Amino acid sequence: MLFYFQKTYKISKGKEVLSIAAKQPLINEEIHEKQVRVIGPDNDQLGIMSSQDALKKAEEADLDLVLIAPQGNPPVCRIMDYGKFRFEQAKKEKEARKNQKQSELKEVSMFLNIDVNDFNRKVAQANKFLQNGDKVKIKIRFKRARELSHMHLGEDLMKRFMDATAEFGSADKPSVLEGKNFSAVIIPKASPSAKKSAPKGDNGGKKSEGKPENSPKKEAETEQGSE
């Protein structure tokens, strides 16, 4: 692990001088510690020496001296090809961003008098979104103003829906009334990557059930109201 320091660079742009801040570890002549513990390019311990002597060893190997643990006593430096290290790190970060799932807010809506089959279909849709790592906004619509006088029916329906999706998600905040819509947001319990990387084994002698999940394709459209 490298410890990064805030560095400010000044770049001339015409008559303007722009200051750009970047986080990088101290390297080579930037290291002014009196004594440092030095680790060689092959992870071999080279001992404690002055930073000048450590820099000479790095230069003799045509490599860089990088301060990796400034809080050490004495601070620790490593001799490495810092340019190659930065390139590999940037490559890994780019790959991680490429594979990172961007969470979306999906919506599942229903009316107060939804029948059992439609209710189960909405639950399956919401569970699919949650397994894909997306948040789901549940919206119960009151068709008429007089239905608002029976808020307990909306609360009961919302509780049924929360219970039916509890395996894959949980409520982010308490349900709220927005006009004629009773809404709540469910967040996934675990991302697909976390489930995929979880070690296989038993939990109290029981093996995990269900098929292994592959990250499904993003849904093109948000599920809207029915009937």
pLDDT score recorded for residue 101 = 62
User: Does one domain contain both 68 and 28?
Assistant: yes
User: Does one domain contain both 79 and 140?
Assistant: no
Domain span holding position 50: 5-90
pLDDT score recorded for residue 191 = 52
Of 90, 124, 144, the one marking the end of a domain is 90
pLDDT score recorded for residue 108 = 92
pLDDT score recorded for residue 92 = 86
223 in any annotated domain: no
- Chain centre distance of CA 64: 32
120 in any annotated domain: yes
User: Does one domain contain both 124 and 163?
Assistant: yes
User: Does one domain contain both 81 and 13?
Assistant: yes
Q: What is the CATH number of the domain that holds 141?
A: 3.30.110.10
pLDDT score recorded for residue 59 = 93
User: Does one domain contain both 118 and 187?
Assistant: yes
The CA-atom distances, in angstroms, between 157 and each of 21, 114, 174 are: 53, 9, 14
Count of structural domains within the chain = 2
Q: Using CA atoms, how far apart are residues 211 and 209, in angstroms rounded to an integer?
A: 7
pLDDT score recorded for residue 30 = 87
User: Does one domain contain both 165 and 117?
Assistant: yes
The torsion of the CA quartet 35, 40, 44, 45, rounded to 10 degrees, works out to 0
User: Does one domain contain both 71 and 112?
Assistant: no
pLDDT score recorded for residue 212 = 44
154 in any annotated domain: yes
212 in any annotated domain: no
Q: Is the peptide bond before 74 cis (omega within 30 degrees of 0)?
A: yes
User: Does one domain contain both 84 and 43?
Assistant: yes
pLDDT score recorded for residue 63 = 92
N- to C-terminal Cα separation, the chain = 57
Q: Using CA atoms, how far apart are residues 53 and 29, in angstroms rounded to an integer?
A: 11
Q: Say what the pTM is.
A: 0.42
Consecutive H or E run containing 2: none
- Is 35:51 a contact under the CB 8 Å cutoff? yes
225 in any annotated domain: no
Q: What is the CATH number of the domain that holds 84?
A: 3.10.20.80
User: Does one domain contain both 82 and 12?
Assistant: yes
Please list the residues that pair with 185 across neighbouring strands. Answer: 137
Residue ranges of the chain with pLDDT lower than 70? 1-23, 99-102, 190-227
